[in-house]
Amino acid sequence: MLHPTLLLLIVGTVVFGFLLRQRMKTRPSLLLPPGPPALPLIGNVLDIPSNGAPGFHDLCQKYGDIVHLNIAGKSMIILGSQQAASELLDKRSLNYSDRPPPYGGNFFNQTAVLNYATDQRLEAHRLVMRLVDKPEAFLDHIGHMFGSSIMRVVYGLEVDEEPVDYLKMAEETMAIFSETLLPGKYIIEFLQFLRYLPSWVPGAAVKSKGPAWRQVVWRLVEEPWKFVMTSMREGAVRPSMAASLMADVPQSYGENTDVSEEEELFRSTSATAYAVFFLAMVTHPQALQKAQAELDTVVGSYRLPDFEDMKSLPYIRALMKELFRWRVSGPLGFPHCAVEDDEYRGYRIPKGAILVANIWAVSRDPNVYPDPDVFMPERFLKDGELNPDVRDPATFAFGYGRRICPGRHYVASMLFIVVTTVLHTLSITAPLDKDGNPVHLEGKMMPGLVASRNRHPEPFECVIKPRSEEAIALVRRALETS
């Protein structure tokens, strides 16, 4: 009779051989994209770079522009070039989005944003007056301006007239999204059994944050919708996206509506773009001077810029493109999920894989944008006009496919009226040191709560003054008649 240990060894060998044979039979003919070697159980969790997009770029430099990471058994694929991101997330978008597009696309498309011109113009004029009254708080004014504009358009809210601090609620919600959106940030995403363990177990601690996070996000969903529903019942509703939706759906719609990650990032991305604008003007005064010279020639000193001037301001449009490219606010786009197995360049992309586009790397491709760290609007111009042969940052700065930012056209038109109005009426310069010389600013960006997302400029100072009393008088008259 065989010894039990020997019998166990024989049985184990037979079972192992059977499983190995079955695996060899079912192994796909296509290989996964290249990537760093994975460790048992945790895979490439330790290979996720702490510095976010630049670290992922380093991986792409080593393994190619499509890199596979095994995150505790879950496939994560980094797309490090515009070609890879566009071919997969744009051209095959149906396979890389497991959620329908948000309602925002219906209200913020290129035609629809024309309806918001009056509101955008009003906010730009209000911003100028706030900058004149309290220039040192320019970053606060920027956040208030865009948040106020969005709350009016989406919900019909005048935030300065309401007892609820909606802007603070939006900021808190954005902080939560920033904390949670990077795949691999929390191992509980991939090791599902951690959901059922106490929060003190390593890897499960994030569970303790969940209830508080849900309360914050749900409040931002619930409070504005309550305002709109109450206004509709009382017959005092203001025109807004929410009012239009509620006219077509049951009153309970708002109770089941989630805050879209794309729409929430819309707020954050936009506020960052304005902060980057002030940073660029302080650190690159020659660009400011060229833009103001173009405005002086086209607009003149007897009126304020308007949307109809856009076609006549090629340098301003080039400057806006460079703002979106120079300091992207979301270096890694929203994660996409493969709905079905796919093949790309001979590699297998498995169903359920998470795909992340490295927008930071795309914005810094030296083959497309020479000297990418330099703020240079001229890179988009040829013979005084926009050069169509240079890649438009709009093709990547707002994301890809069905998860593209729904408010990108609104952001662009709002940025245009703000940039032109501010530059036409105000001067923006660097502060002076004790010797009377301009203070040198590095122009660095700080990460959000997650190193890869929602970057914003490091705190900096600038001197903001009216270009002339006549220019400010134009703004005052515009506000009086609005």
99/339 Cα distance (integer angstroms): 10
Q: Does the annotation list 405 as a binding residue?
A: yes
Q: How far is CA 1 from CA 6, 7, 175, 195, in A?
A: 10, 9, 68, 47
94/107 Cα distance (integer angstroms): 22
Q: Which residues make Cβ contacts (< 8 Å) with residue 117, sequence separation at least 6?
A: 307, 413, 417
Note the Cα 368 to chain centre separation in Å: 22
| Residue 443 backbone zone (phi > 0: left; psi -120 to 50: alpha; other: beta) | left
Residue 345 has phi, psi (to 5 degrees) of 55, 35
112/469 Cα distance (integer angstroms): 35
181/204 Cα distance (integer angstroms): 17
Q: Could you report how far apart the first and last alpha carbons of the chain are, in Å?
A: 99
Token pair of 248 as six digits: 């077509």
- The answer to whether 84 touches 110, Cβ cutoff 8 Å, is no
pLDDT tens for the chain, residues 1 to 482: 444 444 445 445 544 454 444 444 444 578 999 999 999 888 898 898 877 888 899 999 999 999 999 988 889 999 999 999 999 998 998 898 755 444 444 444 555 566 778 888 999 999 999 999 999 999 889 888 877 877 777 777 776 655 567 667 766 766 666 666 555 556 556 555 556 556 555 555 566 666 776 777 777 767 777 777 776 676 666 666 666 666 655 444 444 444 444 444 445 556 678 889 999 999 999 999 999 999 999 999 999 999 999 999 999 999 999 999 998 877 887 788 899 999 999 999 999 999 999 999 999 999 999 999 999 999 999 999 999 999 999 888 887 876 566 567 788 899 999 999 999 999 999 999 888 888 888 777 765 433 334 456 778 899 999 999 999 999 999 999 97
Domains in the chain: ranges and CATH: 45-480 (1.10.630.10)
